[in-house]
Amino acid sequence: MIEFAELGLSSATLQAVADAGYHTATPIQAGAIPAVLQRRDVLGIAQTGTGKTAAFTLPMIDRLAAGRARARMPRALVIEPTRELADQVSEAFEKYSKGQKLSWALLIGGVSFSDQETKLDRGVDVLIATPGRLLDHFERGRLLLTGVQMLVVDEADRMLDMGFIPDLERIFKLTPPGKQTLFFSATMPPEITRLTKQFLNDPLRIEVAKPATTAETIAQNLVRIPSSDPKAKRAALRALIGRADVKNGIVFCNRKSEVDIVAKSLRKHGLDASPIHGDLDQQTRMRTLDAFRTGELKLLVASDVAARGLDIPDVSHIFNYDVPHHADDYVHRIGRTGRAGRSGQAFMIVTPADGRNLEKILKLIGKTPDEITLDLDWANLKDEPRSGRGRERGGRGERSGRGERTPGGERPERPRRERRPRSEPEAARPEAPRPAPPEPEAVNPPEPRAAERERPSGRERNRPEPRGERRERRDEGDGVVGFGGDVPAFLQRPPSSRRS
């Protein structure tokens, strides 16, 4: 065990570390801090929750202690993939720089540009930013990166997953070539290796654990259920939460839409839960995280935006509602518990559709299903089938009404109804007496009202007339209808023989 006092940090920084309650350095801190103080480039590879934030924050504070910030020209730049991680680094910098005359600014989305520009105009020593918002300020002409002495890229593999590699390459080219560069990542895929070879100068590689390994303090549990129905998964999740002694926990889902549904379901069943994902505004996300950190919120339902680097020291349980698509994400998710030597519990709900992703995870963590499978009394977890048309009476095969089926699933034959002939033969149909058409000279006298005319029977009224008879009746006409008993004079005029 190496004490912080042995790493060459200044007395002011050591006092801030002691005030925060830390005395012994983690392996990544013990390896990185002396190298950063010697101004060497560093490539740090360590599993999540090992203290990477302090590994670059503490020596950065010592290096920047002597110097002065200039307007719009930060001296150090920290790039983070998500707003939450950037905010966490900002809090760490505030905590460890106590007693130092250093300033910093946080550039993240969802916050007013004008407030951030005000800080940049005053001058900051450290700029903590997400790639998109950083480049937005640069393109607005509010920021210069020519004065950057230290550049830190944190969670580099997450940057790759989120598509930030082109932005990173551009940021590297905007900063001075002689700067000190620190790369920290939990895994080293080929694209990240290419970046380190391109932009790092003879870096010191510090690998304190195998890439993507899980901490020994985390008890992993795999829960199999025989159905992929979301309602069944939510029932299993509630059963796990109910049987475990959950002080606080994070529930991880693969999709943002699923996060909202699961959080709403938990609240509906009386559990204290709130969602957090990338589509929520920044104030809501930070308010939810603060409530979870302080213990006001018991369950945090999250997408993978919360899986990387969130410094919540004492999380008792992790629930994987969905099996992650990438095996590395499983390691980052369960790494939110069992931190700083504490013990933690991790559960993963597995359905028949998750076989391929489960195999990748088991291969990565070096476990067999028998080692981590947890028996769950599925018979007591079955929920009622989803309500829907034709499902109320036993599901498929027992529908009623128009969708009725036999037990074998086939539709029964129905007796055909006898259809009435559309029309009877003309000879069999009695001819109803038809009123004689009016004489030509009888046009001028007022016509009787429609109600006073003889109305044919319903059957006769519905019988279609031959087309010739309809045309003949229309040509002869029954007089003008719609003017009461009077016919306007202009309608009584004989037609003109001249063509207009």
List pLDDT tens digits, range 9-49: 999 999 999 999 898 999 999 999 999 999 999 999 987 66
What's the chain's length in residues? 500
Alpha-helical regions (H) of 65-129 = 83-96, 113-122
What's the confidence (pLDDT) of residue 68?
A: 86
Beta-bridge partners for 3 = 24
Beta-bridge partners for 153 = 79, 183
Burial of 26 from C-beta contacts in 10 A (0-12 / 13-18 / 19+): buried
Order across the sheet with 218-224: list the strands. 218-224, 344-350, 317-320, 249-252, 299-302, 273-276
What's the confidence (pLDDT) of residue 354?
A: 94
Distances (CA, A) of 207 to 29, 183, 187: 11, 12, 10
Which one is the CATH code of 218-380: 3.40.50.300, 3.40.630.10, 3.40.50.1100, 3.90.180.10?
A: 3.40.50.300
Burial of 498 from C-beta contacts in 10 A (0-12 / 13-18 / 19+): exposed
What's the confidence (pLDDT) of residue 279?
A: 83
| Fold of the domain spanning 2-207 | Rossmann fold (3.40.50)
Residue by residue, DSSP assigns 247-314 as SSEEEE-SSHHHHHHHHHHHHHTT--EEEE-TTS-HHHHHHHHHHHHHTS-SEEEE-GGGTSS---S-
What's the confidence (pLDDT) of residue 398?
A: 36
The residues near 130 (Cβ < 8 Å, ≥ 6 apart) are 79, 80, 81, 82, 83, 86, 107, 108, 109
Residues of the chain with CATH 3.40.50.300: 2-207, 218-380
Listed as ranges, residues in the chain with pLDDT below 70 are 48-49, 209-212, 305-311, 374-488, 496-500
Cut 0.85: pTM above it: no
In angstroms, the CA 317 to CA 180 distance is 38
Task: Tell me the helix, strand and coil percentages in the chain, rounded to 5.
Answer: 40, 15, 45
